[in-house]
C-alpha cells in the first residue's frame, strides 16, 4: 500500500504528535473499518513550506507545541530557526507505492473530485504526456514542495500553499470507459468498466457524470488541496478539459476529543462497517490481482472506484424524530451502535426480535440491507466526502454525500449492494442519486514511472 510519513518538527525536543483518522473523515486518523495505511515514521527534512508562527499551534492529536519550552524556547535562542510544523501539516503520503495514494489513506478534511475529457485531436500520445506531467506535479506537491516546471515554466508556483506542509495531500488518477476508445486502447478495456446498471433512485445529470479521466485530491488543509487542484487543471491545458468538478469536506483531524468515526450531514456515524486492511480478504476485495499475459495486466494493484453524488433531503430527514431516524438506519444515532445492542463495532444481530416478535433492526433498515451478510459477502471500501453547494431555488439545501467506494470488481461490490438497496431501503425517500461515474484506477507508480505508464506504453 502507499506509505505515510511524518516530517519531524524543526525544533529539537518539540513533540511531533500522532495522526489518526477514518475513511468517513473523523477527527481520528485511523480509517473507520479500514485501518490506517502502512505507516512509517522516519527522519526526513522538514518541508520547505512551513507554518509561520507555528509555536503554540495544536497538533492533530491535540498536542500543543511551544509553551514554555520546545519550539518556543528554541526560537528564543536561535531566532533564525524556522517554526515547526504541527503534525497535521507535516504528515506526508508517499506518491510511489504498490497502490496509488488516496485509497487506504486516512480520509482528509478537504477533497476535490474532477473529471476531464480529452480535447479533440488528443489521443494516446497526448494522454501519456498528460499523465507524465500530472504524476510529476503530484510527486512534488505530496512531498510538500512547490509545483515547478510543467506548462508554466521552470520555477513557477502559484504560491497558494506557501508556508504549509504536505498536510496529508494525495492525488489519485483513474480512467473512464471512454478513455480507451479515445486513445486506441479498446483491447485493454476491462470488463469491470462495463456501464453500471440503472437504479430506480437515479436522477443522473449526464453533464456531471463519467468522463475520460478522473482525479481525486484530498488534504487536511483547504489551501493545500486547492493548490493541487489548480496545478492539475493548469497541466491539463491543451490535452484535456474539465468535464465536471465537485468539492467536499470532512471533519478536520483533531476536532474530536478522541478518535471517532465521522458523521455525515444527516448526523449519522458513517463508515463503521468498512473492510479493514488487517482482514485476510482485504486485498482480494479491494485491489485487482496480478494477471500476467492478459490485456488487463496493467491493472495489477489497482482498484475500481464508483463515484456518486447523492443529494440528501435534509429538511425531510430532520423532521423525523430521532427514534424514527434510528429505525431507518438500523443504528443508534448517539454512538452508531446497532439497534440489536452493544457498541459501534458490535456485530449486528439481524435475527434479534423485540416485544411482539418485531425485528429490532427493521427488515428495510439501511444497515441491514447493505450488510455483507445480506449480499453474499459483497463489500466495498467507502471513502466519501460531504458536500454543500448552497441553497436550491426551492429553499432546500443542495447538500449530501460525494460517495466514493473502492473494490476489485464493481459488479461484485457496489452493484449487488445497490441493487438490494434499490428494492426497499428505508433511506431511499431521503436521498437522490444525481451523478455517477465508474473509473479504473491503476496500481501505484514505481520509482521512475508515471501513473498509467503500464497501460499507455504497453
Residue 343 CB neighbour total at 10 angstroms:
11
Contact 270/402 with Cβ under 8 angstroms?
no
Contact 178/210 with Cβ under 8 angstroms?
yes
- CA–CA distance from 37 to each of 138, 149, 404, 452 (Å)? 19, 31, 18, 22
Pseudo-torsion of CA 341, 343, 346, 351, nearest 10°?
10
Strands 397-407 and 170-175: unpaired
The CA distance from 179 to 418, in Å, is 25
Among 117, 212, 221, 270, the active-site one is: 270
Q: Is residue 270 annotated as a catalytic residue, yes or no? A: yes
Both ends of the chain: CA-CA distance in Å?
A: 23
Q: DSSP letter string over 132-188?
A: HHHHHHHHHHHTT----SGGG-TT----TTTT---TT-EEEEEE-HHHHHHTT-GGG
Return the C-alpha cell found at 446.
514505481
Check the CA dihedral 288-225-247-17 and report its sign. Answer: positive
Q: Of 220, 213, 230, 246, which is closest to residue 151 (Cα–Cα)? A: 230
The CA distance from 66 to 58, in Å, is 10
Helices (H), 340-408: 366-369
Pseudo-torsion of CA 81, 252, 225, 23, nearest 10°?
130
Based on the number of CB atoms within 10 Å of its own CB, is 72 exposed (0-12), middle (13-18) or buried (19 or more)? middle
The CA distance from 90 to 50, in Å, is 9
Q: Of 191, 97, 92, which is closest to residue 438 (Cα–Cα)? A: 191
The CA distance from 60 to 57, in Å, is 10
Q: Where are the beta strands (DSSP E) in 250-371?
A: 303-312
Contact 19/253 with Cβ under 8 angstroms?
yes
Residues acting as catalytic residues: 270
Amino acid at each position: 500500500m502507499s506509505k505515510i510519513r511524518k516530517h519531524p518538527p524543526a525544533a529539537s525536543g518539540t513533540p511531533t504528535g500522532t495522526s489518526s483518522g477514518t475513511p468517513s473523515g473523523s477527527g481520528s486518523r485511523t480509517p473507520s473499518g479500514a485501518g490506517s495505511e502502512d505507516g512509517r515514521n522516519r527522519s526526513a527534512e522538514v518541508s520547505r513550506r512551513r507554518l509561520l508562527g507555528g509555536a503554540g499551534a495544536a497538533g492533530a492529536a491535540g498536542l500543543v507545541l511551544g509553551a514554555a519550552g520546545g519550539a518556543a524556547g528554541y526560537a528564543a535562542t536561535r531566532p533564525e530557526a524556522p517554526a515547526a510544523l504541527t503534525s497535521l501539516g507535516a504528515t506526508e503520503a508517499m506518491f510511489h507505492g504498490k497502490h496509488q495514494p488516496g485509497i487506504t489513506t486516512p480520509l482528509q478534511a478537504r477533497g476535490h473530485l474532477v473529471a476531464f475529457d480529452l480535447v479533440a485531436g488528443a489521443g494516446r500520445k497526448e494522454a501519456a504526456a498528460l499523465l507524465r506531467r500530472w504524476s510529476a506535479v503530484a510527486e512534488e506537491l505530496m512531498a510538500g514542495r512547490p509545483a515547478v516546471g510543467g506548462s508554466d515554466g521552470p520555477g513557477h508556483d502559484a504560491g497558494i500553499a506557501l508556508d504549509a506542509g504536505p498536510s496529508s495531500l494525495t492525488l489519485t488518477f483513474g480512467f473512464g470507459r471512454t478513455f480507451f476508445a479515445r486513445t486506441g486502447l479498446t483491447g485493454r478495456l476491462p470488463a469491470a468498466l462495463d456501464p453500471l446498471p440503472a437504479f430506480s433512485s437515479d436522477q443522473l445529470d449526464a453533464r456531471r457524470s463519467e468522463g475520460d479521466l478522473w482525479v481525486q485530491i484530498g488534504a487536511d488543509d483547504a489551501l493545500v488541496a486547492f493548490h493541487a487542484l489548480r496545478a492539475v487543471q493548469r497541466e491539463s491545458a491543451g490535452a484535456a478539459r474539465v468535464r465536471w468538478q465537485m468539492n467536499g469536506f470532512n471533519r478536520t483531524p483533531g476536532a474530536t476529543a478522541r478518535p471517532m468515526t465521522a458523521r455525515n450531514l444527516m448526523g449519522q456515524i458513517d463508515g463503521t462497517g468498512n473492510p479493514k486492511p488487517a482482514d485476510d480478504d482485504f486485498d482480494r476485495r479491494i485491489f485487482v490481482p496480478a494477471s500476467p499475459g492478459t490485456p488487463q495486466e496493467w491493472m495489477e494493484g489497482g482498484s475500481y472506484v464508483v463515484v456518486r453524488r447523492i443529494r440528501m433531503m435534509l429538511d425531510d430527514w430532520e423532521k423525523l424524530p430521532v427514534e424514527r431516524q434510528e429505525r431507518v438506519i438500523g443504528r443508534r444515532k448517539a454512538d452508531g451502535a446497532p439497534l440489536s445492542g452493544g457498541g459501534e463495532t458490535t456485530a449486528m444481530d439481524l435475527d434479534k426480535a423485540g416485544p411482539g416478535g418485531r425485528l429490532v433492526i427493521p427488515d428495510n433498515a439501511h444497515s441491514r440491507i447493505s450488510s455483507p451478510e445480506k449480499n453474499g459477502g459483497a463489500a466495498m471500501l467507502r471513502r466519501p466526502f460531504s458536500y454543500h453547494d448552497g441553497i436550491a431555488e426551492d429553499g432546500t439545501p443542495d447538500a449530501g454525500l460525494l460517495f466514493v467506494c473502492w473494490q476489485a470488481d464493481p459488479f461484485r461490490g457496489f452493484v449487488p449492494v445497490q441493487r438490494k438497496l434499490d428494492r426497499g431501503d428505508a433511506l431511499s425517500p431521503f436521498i437522490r442519486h444525481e451523478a455517477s461515474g465508474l473509473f479504473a484506477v491503476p496500481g501505484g507508480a514505481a520509482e521512475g514511472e508515471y501513473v498509467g505508464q503500464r497501460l499507455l506504453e504497453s
